[in-house]
Amino acid sequence: MEREFRCPSCGAENAVTNPGILMKVCDYCKTALYWDKESALRAGNKSLDLPQSPRFKVGAYGKLAGKPFAVLGRLTYEHDSGFWHEWFIEQEDGSLLWLTEDEGELFIERPLTLKNLPPSFDSIKAGSEITLDDKTAVVEEIGYAKCIGGEGQIPFLVELGDTYPYVDGASMDGANSFGLEYDSQGAPKAFWGRIVNLKSAAPKSLARSEAEAKQSELIQCVNCGKPWEGKRVDNTKMVVCAACGAALELDGAETRVVGLNTGDAPIFTFGVGVKLEFDGVVYGVMGRMVYVAQDEGLEYSSREYILYNPAAGYKRLSEESGHFVLSEVTHTHFRYPESAGRKTRVQIGGEKFQLFETGIAILRWVDGALPWRAVTGESTQYTLFIHPPHCVDYEITGNEVELFRGTYVTNGQMQSAAPPDWAIPTPLGIHPCQPYVAAPWLRNLWKIGAIFLALNVLLLIYAAAGVEKQVLSDTVTAEQYKAGYTSVPFTVAKNGEVLRVVGKAPVNNSWLGVDVGLVTPDDKVVNEVNHDLYFYHGADEDGTWNEGSSVFSSHMRVAKAGDYKLLVRGEGGSGVQGTGPARQESVTITLFRNSRMPGYFWGSILACAFFLLLEPLLRWRFNRKRWRE
């Protein structure tokens, strides 16, 4: 049921279309209009000129999750480091929804009636967990927000110009958001909602568009008087004067200096306004920052580019020693483990990350236009978790906790993202979230190694499992081997057959030299093995000792098949320098055929293992270097 009335301030006609509406900002003079039960109108403060949104406009129609809606009104709040819009939309069935738009992010929220009072404003800390009845969430931001204005129809009463303590955050899994507004009277108002995935929400036609400059409104530097000539968008909170380096906060109706760049301007790879394309979305470089962190007395600087696309929102591109990481805000929280140290594993959104480093980063330089206030000299406590090529940066700045999920951008990807022929620096060293990328010649090399390793192991098993066949086993006495003992003839069935000769003698503090010859029927020696058997033992000041062996084993290859016999000769003795008496120890000679030497496979297995393990070894070395650097 539409209700019409005249603005008590300017007399203009205004209409309210939804019965849930409790206030209206005059369409003409921007005065806040309130009415009570008796329908008496009261004029409040006037709204400031509000920044436009790239997505919504009061009076516009659209679709959300396939359902049509109409934008009835909005409120805009300003806080320490930026501002947000609250859009009030009416669905087809007349129900109202809140859409909060903050630094390019979207949250769909509804009022939440709490059974239990939330903690007091003063007791809440950024990063701490908070319980809202049966819901658990993490506090991301605490502060004071000033309602700087509104337009259209608004479903609750807000005094324009008033300041409210607020708390907001997200559920642990990052799917939901919450907000708490601590009014001076009554219980805090709670809101619970859903975080909208902008990738799925962005219309295709907008996804490829780039940031467009807001041409209206001249900004003049209050430090040097020169006009701001750079690009900015409607939700720009701060710009930096290119002439004097003064950071100018665009605070509602006024512009004021909040910081100043000093020293020489750092060298950036990308200038403000440069267009970079990632995943088919063109972003414009809106602002640039230089952070400096100290570690063991050394200073490490990193550059950050604030990228913006009206449909996709903001992204951060970090540059460090020629390495690039593209990040965006995430609300997926995790429980910070107690006694966390380097390499501590943390589960973040279903993925396992490792704590890489923690430290303090100081903002040394800022230029361009930013959607929040960033003042040189401000410090941020950061903790970096890595799961290459991804990383999560947990940052605490003042009363705000932010999480950024980043993905490493390779040099090739960066070349593709940048304008043609843009000079991209060569990466130096290894970046914490740089993934190991095997050289093309190394890729799948392990498969070749594995196939041949398996083949060699099978052949090794085959060779080791071969059963030798005993040809003869003769015990040869001292008299026989001194004179030359000849065995009974035996047949070698095939050319190249391998025989094994095993000799065993009961040497005891004595030695026995044995020659075993392979003899043809016409008494020609065609092959020969020779061994010294000795076994000594005794005791001295160090205790008992023994050395040598009473057994030998040797292989011989028979080139030609045929009949053969063994000829055994030997001599033995004892004592020092051959002064002891000769011994009469017999020797047992055993001959085997079909013999194999599987030990040869160890060399080939080693070669296969080398190719199998080369890539994993290089990966291991890369990771070790990552953690050492």
Partner 1 sequence: MVTVFKTIVCVFLLGVTVTAYGGACYGWFLTNPIKKPVSVREGSRYRHTPYLFYGRTHTGGGYSSGK
Q: Which spans of this chain sit near partner 1 (rule: CB under 8 A)?
A: 440-441, 443-445, 448-449, 452, 455-456, 459-460, 463, 466, 484, 496, 498, 509, 511, 513, 515, 517, 519-520, 523-528, 530, 532, 534, 536, 547-548, 555-557, 559, 567, 569, 571-578, 596-601, 603-604, 607-608, 611
Q: For the CB of residue 471, give the shortest distance to partner 1 in the complex, in Å.
A: 16
Q: For the CB of residue 460, give the shortest distance to partner 1 in the complex, in Å.
A: 8
CB closer to partner 1, 429 vs 521: 521
Q: For the CB of residue 414, give the shortest distance to partner 1 in the complex, in Å.
A: 24
CB closer to partner 1, 292 vs 607: 607
Q: For the CB of residue 497, give the shortest distance to partner 1 in the complex, in Å.
A: 8
Measuring CA to CA, how many Å separate 103 from each of 237, 277, 303, 481? 10, 20, 20, 100
DSSP, collapsed to helix, strand or coil, labels residue 444 as coil
Q: For the CB of residue 485, give the shortest distance to partner 1 in the complex, in Å.
A: 12
| Distance (Å, whole) CA 176 – CA 132 | 13
CB closer to partner 1, 12 vs 448: 448
Question: Angle, to 10 degrees, between the axis of helix 601-628 and the axis of helix 445-465?
Answer: 150
CB closer to partner 1, 192 vs 535: 535
CB closer to partner 1, 209 vs 604: 604
| Distance (Å, whole) CA 328 – CA 351 | 17
| Distance (Å, whole) CA 138 – CA 7 | 43
| Distance (Å, whole) CA 140 – CA 81 | 13
CB closer to partner 1, 413 vs 604: 604
Give me the half-sphere count of Cα atoms (radius 13 Å) on the Cβ side of residue 64. Answer: 23
| Distance (Å, whole) CA 398 – CA 188 | 23
User: What is the CA 124 to chain-centroid distance, rounded?
Assistant: 31
Amino acid at 629: E
Amino acid at 454: A
Cβ neighbour number for residue 187 with a 10 Å cutoff: 11
Q: For the CB of residue 598, give the shortest distance to partner 1 in the complex, in Å.
A: 5
| Distance (Å, whole) CA 376 – CA 263 | 12
Q: For the CB of residue 616, give the shortest distance to partner 1 in the complex, in Å.
A: 16
Residue (of 275, 281, 238) closest to 260 by Cα position: 238
CB closer to partner 1, 342 vs 557: 557
Measuring CA to CA, how many Å separate 44 from each of 121, 161, 184, 382? 27, 10, 18, 43
Q: For the CB of residue 560, give the shortest distance to partner 1 in the complex, in Å.
A: 11
Q: Which residues pair with 468 in a beta bridge?
A: none
CB closer to partner 1, 359 vs 580: 580
Looking at the chain, how many residues does it have? Answer: 629
Measuring CA to CA, how many Å separate 228 from each of 113, 181, 231, 287, 491? 46, 35, 9, 14, 104
Amino acid at 268: F
Q: For the CB of residue 229, give the shortest distance to partner 1 in the complex, in Å.
A: 51
Q: For the CB of residue 541, give the shortest distance to partner 1 in the complex, in Å.
A: 13
CB closer to partner 1, 187 vs 448: 448
CB closer to partner 1, 399 vs 574: 574
